Amino acid sequence: MSKKRIIKRKNNILNSSTRENRIVEIALDGIHNRNNFIKTGILKSILLAKLKKENYGECYLGIYEYPEDWKTSQKNVFMYSDTITIDIDSDDLNKALDDTRTLVEHLKNEYGIDENLIRIHFSGNKGFHVELPPVLFGIQPSKYLPEIHKEIVKRIVPTSIQVDTKIYHRRGLLRMSNSINKKSNLYKIPLHVGELFNLSIDDIKEEAKKQRGFILPGREIEKIDALVQIYQDSNREVLESKSKVKTTKTSANEKLYEKLPLEKVGASERNSTLTSLTGKLQSNGIESGVIKMLVESVNETRCEPPLERKEVDTILKSVSKYKDSTSNSLEVVKLSDIEEAKPREWLLTGAIPRNYPTIIYGDGGTGKSYTTLFIAIQAARGNQTFCGLDFSERQFKVLYLDFELDSSEFQRRASKICNGLDLDKLPDNIFYSEAKKPLPKLLRELKEFIKENNIDLIVIDSFTVSGVDAMNENKVIKVLNKLKSMDVTTLIIDHQSKSNFGGNSPYGSVFKTNLVRSLFHITSKPEDINTTRITMEHNKSNFGHKIEALSFNLKLEEDKITFVEVKSTNKQTDDNSDFDIIKEAINELNAKKEKVNQKDIIAHLKDSLSKSKVRELLEDGKEKHWNVEIENRGSNIYTLI
């Protein structure tokens, strides 16, 4: 059973008891410090002013209040709230600002709400909070207050506005006014309605660099008939839905319904709990509409915090796939009956397999994006060669998904590469998208576009900033598996781990390396002011041996970019240098003993060359640099030519 801790301070500012001794959850200096409760017998504005003075950093306050004797394990308890909060979030802050303005105008014009009663905050990061007094609606305390708030918001907010409904659960927290957001280094600040309509996003962000004074309602509050009706309708809707959950039973399944989770479900158990519940209900013949209602209800009343509706829908769809195949879910065939596999196809022979993911990773500024764009253009042309490797004869349709730059810079780079290849124009089978949303949220649209346009190759530039949590192995696995399921070649640009986090490997989870089928590490060094030597080391290949390192010069000029293969003289040069080391070792050993064998040379060079390298060189240097005689005991004796 979880425990709550009531924070008490010597100053009665946190311990007043005038508001019926209700309590509210608080998290000081980070959301991880939740499960603390304070009494709410004073205006929150005074409380927040105190917290501002004591400078707690990131602070959060519960949306809902409880009786003082409430225990966190209690579910059926009446909740209170002194505001209805509408959370408008968007990755595009200008859109969030436009939506907030639209909402405020709608509330004023449609319902006659005085703008002085509408409290507005810039959240400090991705959006705005619009707060309304519950008195306008005549809202009463309820066991289902979060669900009622959610239903009210659905009814009063225009459908064109994106609202975050995850906040409507009994343990919901929101950042306090004048608390800093450490990601953006901006404060959540109050705004006047006039400021909302007159300030730009840049102006608001400038204001949010420091804390501001509080803005309180400037007049008495009276109920508005239209809003009272919306509250009554919302309350009725919620109560009816709860009643259905309780009464939609058949005698054959009563025991099953009794097994619905009663205790809270933590964040790490939500997916597995809802998946298991869906499977149990489905296997017992419960109709899909009832299953959906039950699972959604359990999510919203038991999960803390609830999953997003989209995630619940994904669980329902995923489990429903097995509805008609429970007895034949394991398909087994004879190996001899499987149709003979076709020859493997490659985008770049031996290096980039078709229809599988490949990663090219390295430090910043090593030429990853230039190189990958060059590969994409050559794949689009088809039937090209580079560094001794052949591109497929097929002309690949390419989609370049860009999380780092914009369309102008991409077009500029692509045009210069085409100039370097003496092409008159860009290939018309290359598509470009300047990604506006995180990759996980684009996957469905991406799959549809690939299917509709017969895309053969997608380039992701770069995975590191695509919105996937690189350290979360489950999220990495999920995204890479979804990309693989699209049956398209995926070329992923990625950054490199720092030396203290693994060094020479892609940044983040090891499952990146595990799940791709080919892996290249790219390094560079300057040759002159315009030219950089690029080396691509093949660190992984699932479909054959690793190829030798690709080495080429990248030359950036005013009007063109060229890629020129560096003929591999390095191996010969290195080998000649190593042969000299072997010869010197044989000379030194001959000065001490008459006969020199392989074991002697290996021991003599243990600090310079590996055993396998010495054996390789001794074999390659036969009859070129030394003669070899075999003793009676089978040892090879080496003498210089």
CB atoms < 10 A from the CB of 257, how many?
16
Fold held by 346-567:
Rossmann fold (3.40.50)
**How confident is residue 131, by pLDDT bands cut at 50, 70 and 90?**
very high
**How confident is residue 20, by pLDDT bands cut at 50, 70 and 90?**
low
* 193 Cβ contact partners less than 8 Å away, ≥ 6 residues apart: 104, 115, 116, 118, 120
**How confident is residue 502, by pLDDT bands cut at 50, 70 and 90?**
very low
For range 471-490, the mean pLDDT: 88
Q: What is the phi/psi pair of residue 314, to 5°?
A: -60, -40
For range 586-614, the mean pLDDT: 81
Query: Quick one: pLDDT at residue 597?
Result: 87
For range 233-261, the mean pLDDT: 63
CA distance 170 to 304: 8
CB atoms < 10 A from the CB of 436, how many?
12
5-228 shares its CATH topology with 571-640: no
Query: What residue spans define the domains of the chain?
Result: 5-228, 248-320, 346-567, 571-640
- 158 within 8 A of 106, measured Cβ to Cβ: yes
For range 175-194, the mean pLDDT: 89
- 443 within 8 A of 481, measured Cβ to Cβ: no
Please give the DSSP secondary-structure letter assigned to residue 315: H
Q: Which residues of 140-163 are buried (b: 16+ CB within 10 A; e: fewer)?
A: ebbbbbbbbbbbbbeebbeeebeb
State which CATH number among 3.30.1490, 1.10.10, 1.10.3470, 1.20.50 fits the domain covering 571-640: 1.10.10
Residue 206 pLDDT > 80? yes
CA distance 485 to 467: 20
Residue 424 pLDDT > 60? yes
Of the listed ranges 71-75, 338-342, 604-608, the least confidently predicted one is 71-75
Query: Quick one: pLDDT at residue 2?
Result: 40
- Residue 125, classed as helix, strand or coil, is coil
Q: Which residues of 63-87 are buried (b: 16+ CB within 10 A; e: fewer)?
A: bbbbeeebebeeeeeebbbbbbbbb
Query: Quick one: pLDDT at residue 75?
Result: 66
Closest C-alpha to 60, from 90, 22, 96, 34? 34
- 31 within 8 A of 15, measured Cβ to Cβ: no
CA distance 454 to 463: 23
Residue of 632 and 19 predicted with greater confidence: 632
pTM of the model: 0.43
Measured over the CA atoms of residue 536, residue 542, residue 548 and residue 550, the dihedral's sign is negative
Closest C-alpha to 448, from 482, 409, 407, 406? 482
What is the residue-averaged pLDDT of the chain? 82
Residue 322 pLDDT > 80? no
pLDDT, one tens digit per residue, over 510-542 is 888 888 999 999 999 888 888 999 999 999 999
Residue 10 pLDDT > 80? no
State which CATH number among 3.30.420, 3.40.50, 3.30.230, 3.90.920 fits the domain covering 5-228: 3.90.920
- Residue 362, classed as helix, strand or coil, is strand
Residue 233 pLDDT > 50? yes
**How confident is residue 4, by pLDDT bands cut at 50, 70 and 90?**
very low
pLDDT, one tens digit per residue, over 379-418 is 999 999 888 889 999 999 999 999 988 889 999 999 999 9
Query: Quick one: pLDDT at residue 32?
Result: 77
For range 288-306, the mean pLDDT: 79
Please give the DSSP secondary-structure letter assigned to residue 343: P
What does the block give as tokens for 140? 């009463």
**How confident is residue 325, by pLDDT bands cut at 50, 70 and 90?**
very low
**Bridging pattern class, strands 561-565 and 550-556:** antiparallel
CB atoms < 10 A from the CB of 522, how many?
20
Amino acid at 422: D
Query: Quick one: pLDDT at residue 237?
Result: 87
